[in-house]
């Protein structure tokens, strides 16, 4: 068999989801990340398997103050900038069980690098400069 085009390496996809500081991934995107994407029970923040956890709730499952979430998101954005060969599939973190608005949460990602792809719902808040993957 003759190949006419070289095979291009497929970029790794990492599922980014909202978690709690206890690392209990029991519902929504967090449960999916735990069951299917390699999130680790007890690990509330960071890259594990093909997932990246960003806390939006504390260890008692109360929504964190926005300033604390902003710090976690800032850490994630620095990580994403340092791992440009990875595509980060960012869900609507904080907008489900944590009860935060899409507008407020999307605003935290305005400085995201191009390897961050966002839930389609955030298009109206982030604009056309970003890539969107669909919705969870």
* Total Cβ atoms within 10 A of residue 126: 19
> 0.85 cut: is pTM over it?
yes
Residue with tokens 């944590």: 98
What is the SS3 assignment for 50-85?
CEEEEEEECCCCCECCHHHHHHHHHHHHHHHHHCCC
Listed by start position, the domains of the chain span 12-134
**47-85 pLDDT per residue, tens:** 999 999 999 999 999 999 999 999 999 999 999 999 999
12-134 is a CATH 3.40.50.300 domain: no
CA distances from 73 to 11, 76, 113 (A): 22, 5, 13
**84-129 pLDDT per residue, tens:** 999 999 999 999 999 999 999 999 999 999 999 999 999 999 999 9
């Amino acid at each position: 068999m003759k190949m006419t085009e070289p095979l291009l390496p497929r970029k790794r996809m990492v599922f980014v989801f909202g978690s709690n500081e206890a690392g209990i991934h029991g519902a929504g995107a967090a449960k999916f990340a735990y069951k299917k994407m390699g999130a680790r029970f007890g690990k509330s923040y960071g890259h594990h398997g093909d997932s990246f956890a960003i806390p939006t709730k504390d260890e008692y499952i109360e929504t964190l103050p926005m300033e604390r979430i902003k710090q976690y998101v800032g850490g994630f954005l620095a990580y994403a900038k340092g791992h440009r060969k990875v595509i980060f599939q960012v869900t609507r973190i904080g907008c489900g069980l944590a009860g935060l608005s899409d507008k407020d949460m999307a605003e935290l990602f305005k400085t995201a690098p191009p390897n961050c792809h966002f839930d389609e719902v955030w298009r109206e808040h982030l604009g056309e400069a970003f890539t969107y993957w669909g919705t969870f």
